[in-house]
Amino acid sequence: MRSLMPRRSTAKSDPAPSRWAWRMQRLMLTPGFRLALRAGVPFCVTLMAGLIYLSDADRRAAIAQAVADTRSSIQERPEFMVKLMAIDGVKGQLAADIRALMPFELPQSSFDMDLELLRSQIVALPGIKAANVRIRPGGILQVDAEPRVPVAIWRTADGLMLIDEGGAFVASIDARADFPQLPLLAGGGAARHVPQALRLVQTGQALGDRMRGLVRMGDRRWDVVLDRDQRILLPEVGAVAALERVIALEGAQEVLTRDVVRVDMRLRRRPTIQMSEEATQQWWQVKQVTGQ
């Protein structure tokens, strides 16, 4: 006899996930999505909280003041303070000029000092060739300066000035007699040819005290100026050798001892000697007498 009770369904439930659940599972298997969940979401939340906190002007001012106080407390510690300044290599007026360049008063924190700027200002001083600036232990600002050594006097339209071996300006002077041991140079461009001028001066020492100086002519060559208004005109090339020839002639024939105004050595194969006007007239008179 059949039962009158309803028959139960024997169909099983589908174990497959829904479409959205399947997509979420696929996303969780993606490395980039997992990284965004682990790092991106906390970062965004933290950033949002920070922006909300810093949106208050009073809070920002308090943070800035705290940072400034912390920085100041570190920079002004005794071990970072510069108390003294020491200058080696120069003295006198140059040392005073270097001290005058200090843009700050001591003691000063080393963090507030621009040593490279100070060094460039020191090197820019006339008379300073090179400089090194550093902070020594004990809070001492050490300046090591190398002065320019004058080797000649250059006479210009602006007056007399000392120059070093590279032709750089060292200092202005009032009179030639202040530095009698230095040679005198004149003429435009003379400072650009100091090494050659010094070689000529050294060669001309054989003339004794007769040499008065050198004049640069047309920025091309040199004239040697002697006493009694005598001049030796040197060529553009081989000036030292030409001067040595004149010195040899002086030793053999006493050319410069005579009444000579110019000794022209510009033409190597034909040196020319110009006598004074008085000597020329006497020579013509002697020639006329001899011719009669």
User: Is residue 11 included in any domain, yes or no?
Assistant: no
Q: Tell me if residue 130 falls in helix, strand or coil.
A: strand
Residues 185-206: what's their mean pLDDT? 94
Rounded CA separation 138/82 (Å): 8
User: Is residue 9 included in any domain, yes or no?
Assistant: no
CATH number at residue 183: 3.40.50.11690
Range of the domain at 134: 78-147
Q: Which residue has the higher pLDDT, 139 or 152?
A: 152
Least confident of 34-48, 177-191, 192-206, 240-254: 34-48
Residues 26-30: what's their mean pLDDT? 78
Q: Is the pLDDT of residue 240 over 70?
A: yes
CATH number at residue 107: 3.10.20.310
Give me the torsion for CA of 244, 246, 251, 253, rounded to 10°. Answer: 150
| CB 152 within 8 Å of CB 200 | no
The total domain count for the chain is 2
Band (9; pLDDT cuts 50, 70, 90): low
- In this structure, are 95 and 198 located in the same domain? no
Of 147, 175, 203, which residue constitutes the final position of a domain? 147
Residues forming beta bridges with residue 147, ordered by sequence position: 128
User: Is residue 222 included in any domain, yes or no?
Assistant: yes
Residue for token digits 């060529």? 235
Of 147, 162, 184, which residue constitutes the final position of a domain? 147
Residues 50-67: what's their mean pLDDT? 81
Instruction: Give percent above pLDDT 90 in the chain.
Output: 42
Maximum separation of any 2 CA atoms in the chain, in Å: 188
- In this structure, are 120 and 141 located in the same domain? yes
Rounded CA separation 253/260 (Å): 13
Q: Is the pLDDT of residue 8 over 50?
A: yes
Q: What is the pLDDT of residue 16?
A: 60
Rounded CA separation 121/257 (Å): 52
Of 147, 163, 189, which residue constitutes the final position of a domain? 147
Q: What is the pLDDT of residue 1?
A: 44
Highest mean pLDDT pick, 44-53, 63-72, 169-178, 269-278: 169-178
Highest mean pLDDT pick, 17-21, 51-55, 239-243: 239-243
Residues forming beta bridges with residue 81, ordered by sequence position: 109
| CB 146 within 8 Å of CB 129 | yes
Q: Which residue has the higher pLDDT, 4 or 209?
A: 209
- In this structure, are 82 and 194 located in the same domain? no
- In this structure, are 272 and 158 located in the same domain? yes
Rounded CA separation 273/246 (Å): 11
Which residue blocks in 111-220 are alpha helix, DSSP H? Answer: 115-123, 194-203
The amino acid at residue 17 is P
Rounded CA separation 69/74 (Å): 9
Residues 130-156: what's their mean pLDDT? 92
User: Is residue 56 included in any domain, yes or no?
Assistant: no
pLDDT in tens, 91-134: 888 899 998 888 777 788 877 788 898 899 999 998 899 999 99
Both structure tokens of 262: 């110019």
Q: What is the pLDDT of residue 174?
A: 92
- In this structure, are 122 and 162 located in the same domain? no
Q: Which residue has the higher pLDDT, 237 or 290?
A: 237
Rounded CA separation 145/158 (Å): 28
